[in-house]
Amino acid sequence: MSGDSRHYFIGAAEVAAPSLEAGLYLVATPIGNLRDITLRALDVLAAADVIYCEDTRVTVKLLERYGIRNRLKPCHDHSEGELAPRIADEVAAGQVIAFASDAGTPLLSDPGYRLVAACLAAGQPVFAIPGASALLPALQLSGLPSDRFRFVGFLPQKAGERQERLKGLASADETLVAYESPHRIVETLADISAAMGERPVAVARELTKLHEEMLRGTAREVQAVLAAREAVKGECVIVIAGAAADAGAPDEAAIARILADAAASLPPSKAAAAAAKLTGLSREEAFRRILALKAGS
């Protein structure tokens, strides 16, 4: 058990962390805005006997923001395999072990899988503390269907392998979500265009940060916008319409949602142009329906 004298601060209010059952706690941490932390995550980070994390220099900034003083130890892709049995032994000895990736949810294109596997193999409890992730906000903001989607993680770094991977995904009829480095995003969008045609995509950049940006259009159109910049900064999330959305009639509920969002945030002509790209409607039809929405509101 742990947490008898641990605490954290929310503003000027001091909060005592509860005692916790021994186990491995997978703690989701903010992807940008440090206020996107849950109270339960703060409880765990304050109460844990030790916090393992990808980079102690990153996690310490989060702890300092909430006045948490705790032990930090590194555990990243290169050391996780070696540390996993040791961490399982620490849990078996009755310790509360927290694991946090640098930003987002452990195991989602981040370390943590081998820690979980080692603890479960040893019969030790594992707890997930849900919270921030770049995956779901990007999907929400994309304007693409979200009822069925496939997360494919980071695409291969090597061009040939990435192109083969995209060709294999081209027939998928659900929305696809991938992570990508800003250094490869322009090249990857060109590969998406070549492998999948000019179906709708959205690129989320710097989610929850000061310069958050969403770019929507075809892969070729978004690529042109980013290629014109001197540099692209910030981790990117690519959301790609499924093959059904590219080849067949768009889902009416999705069309209505896209039209409503466009009508609420843009002048009619610009809203129609944006909605037409995402829905497959003609610009004239999108314009007519947006005018009707604005008149109704």
What the block records as the tokens of 36 is: 């996107």
The CA distance from 77 to 180, in Å, is: 18
- Residue 288 φ/ψ, nearest 5 degrees: -60, -45
Fold: same for 7-129 and 135-247: no
Fold classification of 135-247 (topology level):
3.30.950
Helices (H), 153-280: 159-169, 185-196, 219-227, 243-247, 252-265, 268-279
How is 174-196 classified by DSSP, letter by letter? SEEEEEE-TTTHHHHHHHHHHHH
DSSP conformation class of 2? B
Q: Which stretch of DSSP H or E encloses residue 216?
A: strand 213-218
How many alpha carbons lie under 13 Å from residue 218 in its C-beta half-sphere? 16
How would CATH label the architecture of 7-129? 3-Layer(aba) Sandwich (3.40)
CA dihedral 177, 182, 183, 185 (to 10 degrees): 40
Ordered per-residue pLDDT tens for the chain, 297 residues: 444 569 999 999 999 999 999 999 999 999 999 999 999 999 999 999 999 999 999 999 999 999 999 999 999 999 999 999 999 999 999 999 999 989 999 999 999 999 999 999 999 999 999 999 999 999 999 999 999 999 999 999 999 999 999 999 999 999 999 999 999 999 999 999 999 998 999 999 999 999 999 999 999 999 999 999 999 999 999 999 999 654 445 568 778 888 888 888 888 998 888 888 777 788 888 999 999 998 886
- 29 by Cβ neighbours in 10 Å (0-12 / 13-18 / 19+) ranks as buried
- Residue 215 φ/ψ, nearest 5 degrees: -115, 130
Q: What is the pTM of this model?
A: 0.79
Q: Where are the domains of the chain?
A: 7-129, 135-247, 252-296
